[in-house]
C-alpha cells in the first residue's frame, strides 16, 4: 500500500477526495495453511462537494500479519496491551486463555457488516465460549475470576445483531439469565455488560424479552 504515515500507521489516499486510515483490529483467524490473518476496520472519509464535510465510512479488510506490521503496526501493539492483562490474570489463577480471536471489552460498530464466512467463524466462537463458560461454572473454585474474561468476549459478540440466533441456539441467553442471578457481584456486573450489548439492537431486545419470560416460568418461584 502507498500513502503517508500518521502515528506509525498508513493513511491511504483512495481518490482525489477519499482517504482511509486503519482504525481498529477487530478479530483474527487461522487460514488453511496455518497463517494468521487480521480483520482490520479502516475508517474511510470522503469530502462532500456540497457541504465540505467529511463523511465517515467503515471498510473491513482481512490482512496478513506482514501487511499489518507494515501498514498499521500500532494496532497489534494496542491489541497486545489490551488483552495481555486479563489473559495473564487467568493463567495465574488457573484460568483458560481465550482463543476466540477477539479482544476483551470490544464492541463492534453498529454499521459494520460481515460476510457469510466471517459470521460462520464467529458463530463457532460463540458456541465454544458458551461451552467454556459452562465448564468454568461447573468447576466452582475461583468461578467468578475465571469466567470474567469469557463473559467479556461474549459481550462483544452480543453487540452484533446477526448473531442473535446463535445466542439462542447455544443457550447463551439462558446462561446470561443465570449469571445475572449469581451471588458474586463481579459476575453480575460482567453479565450486565452482555445484557447491555444485546439490548443495543432490536433483535437482541426481542430475544431478551423471550428469555426473561422463559426464565420466569422455569424458575421455582415463577408464575
The verdict on residue 166 lying in a domain is yes
| pLDDT at residue 66, rounded to an integer | 80
Residue-averaged pLDDT of the chain: 67
| pLDDT at residue 217, rounded to an integer | 40
119/190 same-domain check:
yes
The verdict on residue 82 lying in a domain is no
Listed range (24-28, 40-44, 104-108) with the worst mean pLDDT: 104-108
pLDDT tens, position by position, 205-220: 555 555 444 444 444 4
CB atoms within 10 A of CB 212: 13
Of the two residues 113 and 47, the one the predictor is more confident about is 113
Residue positions counted in the chain: 223
The verdict on residue 86 lying in a domain is no
SS3 sequence of 33-47: CCCEEEEEEEEEEEE
Q: Is 81 exposed, middle or buried (0-12, 13-18, 19+ CB in 10 A)?
A: exposed
Q: Does residue 14 surpass a pLDDT of 70?
A: no
Which of residues 26, 46, 74 is at a domain's end?
Answer: 74
| pLDDT at residue 165, rounded to an integer | 78
Q: Is 33 exposed, middle or buried (0-12, 13-18, 19+ CB in 10 A)?
A: exposed
Residue span of the structural domain in which 40 resides? 3-74
Asked whether the beta carbons of 132 and 172 are under 8 A apart, the reply is: no
**What is the domain count for the chain?**
2
Report pTM.
0.46
CA distances from 135 to 46, 115, 130, 141 (A): 48, 31, 9, 11
60/99 same-domain check:
no
| pLDDT at residue 213, rounded to an integer | 41
111/176 same-domain check:
yes
| pLDDT at residue 182, rounded to an integer | 80
| pLDDT at residue 123, rounded to an integer | 84
105/65 same-domain check:
no
The verdict on residue 39 lying in a domain is yes
Amino acid at each position: 500500500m502507498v500513502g503517508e504515515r500518521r502515528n506509525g500507521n498508513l493513511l491511504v489516499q483512495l481518490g482525489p477526495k477519499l482517504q482511509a486510515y486503519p482504525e481498529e483490529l477487530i478479530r483474527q483467524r487461522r487460514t488453511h495453511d496455518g497463517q494468521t490473518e487480521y480483520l482490520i476496520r479502516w475508517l474511510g472519509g470522503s469530502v462532500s462537494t456540497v457541504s465540505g464535510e467529511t463523511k465517515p465510512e467503515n471498510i473491513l479488510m482481512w490482512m496478513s500479519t506482514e501487511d499489518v506490521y507494515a501498514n498499521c503496526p500500532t494496532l497489534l501493539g494496542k491489541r497486545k496491551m489490551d488483552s495481555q492483562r486479563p489473559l495473564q490474570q487467568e493463567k495465574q489463577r488457573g484460568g483458560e486463555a481465550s482463543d476466540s480471536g477477539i479482544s476483551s471489552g470490544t464492541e463492534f460498530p453498529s454499521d459494520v457488516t460481515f460476510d457469510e464466512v466471517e459470521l460462520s467463524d464467529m458463530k463457532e466462537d460463540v458456541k465454544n465460549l458458551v461451552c467454556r463458560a459452562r465448564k468454568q461454572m461447573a468447576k466452582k473454585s475461583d468461578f467468578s475470576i475465571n469466567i470474567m474474561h469469557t463473559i467479556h468476549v461474549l459481550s462483544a459478540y452480543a453487540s452484533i445483531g446477526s448473531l442473535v440466533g446463535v445466542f439462542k441456539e447455544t443457550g447463551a441467553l439462558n446462561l446470561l439469565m443465570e449469571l445475572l442471578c449469581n451471588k458474586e457481584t463481579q459476575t453480575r456486573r460482567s453479565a450486565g455488560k452482555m445484557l447491555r450489548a444485546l439490548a443495543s439492537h432490536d433483535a437482541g431486545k426481542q430475544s431478551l424479552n423471550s428469555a426473561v419470560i422463559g426464565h420466569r416460568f422455569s424458575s421455582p418461584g415463577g408464575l
